[in-house]
């Protein structure tokens, strides 16, 4: 089960924060869930939002402005954490490894393997908890994310055909097997066998066949991490396989939540079109 940390009235719906003991991660986990007012009458569609490096469930929940647009369309929003946390959970002094940097994979290397199973957490355990306890329509899901979370959204969507009606990303880590934001973490969590990395690389997955639905990617042209993100590789892969979708480069925008919030309305509307189609 889960415990209620807080619930606040928000755009005529409820923004909740909840915690639970995760069997997958072996620790207590916290997540945010926004339910629009329509959820009082019955199950509503669900849009997953996966956050980036250093973030918790709280960053997008408080900074993205997503609830306003989700309420307009009658869509719920799930905000998972980015990693396991707590005493006894392995960590690293670097901001881009360990707690806050789970990278949405199932670690098999020590000391990460006992807790760092964010793939199974986001793909299996947390959905089961949400659909069993809240008014959510399991048949209507979509997924988005920012940076490391954009990487997670794209890879989860392409690895689970038929689950998500649509996928989008803000400044995703687009080609981690060829980037310092990727090779470091994939080696630490998964080991040196690069074949094991392929299912966690959006560019490679796109080249192999893409996503059976609409895709939207937004990237800031003044993003300070542009060389690490490698959006050009993903854009080329989208073109190669003629993936239905849109890739947009925005002049002057950086990697921050000012960028994310500027285009959040577009993303929620994009997913609403797919969820209600």
- Non-local (6+) Cβ contacts of 104 within 8 A are 50, 118, 119, 122, 148, 149, 151, 152, 155, 156, 200
- Non-local (6+) Cβ contacts of 20 within 8 A are 1, 2, 3, 28, 29, 129
271 is an active site residue: no
Residue 191: helix, strand or coil by DSSP? Answer: coil
The torsion defined by the Cα of 170, 226, 163 and 33, in degrees rounded to 10, comes to -40
147 is an active site residue: yes
User: Catalytic residue among 175, 200, 255, 271, which?
Assistant: 255
Q: Does a cis peptide bond (omega within 30 degrees of 0) precede residue 77?
A: no
User: Catalytic residue among 147, 166, 168, 179, which?
Assistant: 147
Q: How far apart, in Å, are the Cα atoms of 9 and each of 16, 30, 271?
A: 9, 19, 23
Q: How many CA atoms lie within 13 A of 271 on its CB side?
A: 31
User: Which stretch of DSSP H or E encloses residue 246?
Assistant: strand 245-250
User: Catalytic residue among 81, 201, 218, 223, which?
Assistant: 223
β-bridge pairing 164-170 and 215-220: parallel
255 is an active site residue: yes
Pairwise CA distance, residues 277 & 274, whole Å: 5
Residues catalogued as catalytic:
147, 223, 255
């Amino acid at each position: 089960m889960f415990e209620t940390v807080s619930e606040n009235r928000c755009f005529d719906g409820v923004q909740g924060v909840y915690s639970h003991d995760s069997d997958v991660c072996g620790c207590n986990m916290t997540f945010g869930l926004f339910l629009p007012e329509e959820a009082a009458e019955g199950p509503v569609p669900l849009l997953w939002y996966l956050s980036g490096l250093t973030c918790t469930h709280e960053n997008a929940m408080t900074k993205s402005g997503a609830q306003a647009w989700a309420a307009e369309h009658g869509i719920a929003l799930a905000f998972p954490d980015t990693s396991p946390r707590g005493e006894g959970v392995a960590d690293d002094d670097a901001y881009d490894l360990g707690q806050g940097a789970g990278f949405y994979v199932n670690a098999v290397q020590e000391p990460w393997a006992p807790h760092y199973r964010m793939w199974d957490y986001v793909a299996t355990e947390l959905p089961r908890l949400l659909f069993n306890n809240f008014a959510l329509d399991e048949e209507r899901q979509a997924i988005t994310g920012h940076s490391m979370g954009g990487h997670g959204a794209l890879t989860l969507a392409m690895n689970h055909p038929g689950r998500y009606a649509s996928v989008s990303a803000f400044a995703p880590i687009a080609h981690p097997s060829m980037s310092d934001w990727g090779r470091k973490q994939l080696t630490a969590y998964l080991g040196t066998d690069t074949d094991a990395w392929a299912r966690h690389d959006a560019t490679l997955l796109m080249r192999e066949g893409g996503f059976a639905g609409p895709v939207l990617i937004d990237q800031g042209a003044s993003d300070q991490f542009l060389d690490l993100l490698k959006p050009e590789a993903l854009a080329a892969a989208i073109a190669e396989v003629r993936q239905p979708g849109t890739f947009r480069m925005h002049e002057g925008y950086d990697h921050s939540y000012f960028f994310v919030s500027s285009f959040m309305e577009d993303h929620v509307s994009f997913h609403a079109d797919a969820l209600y189609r």
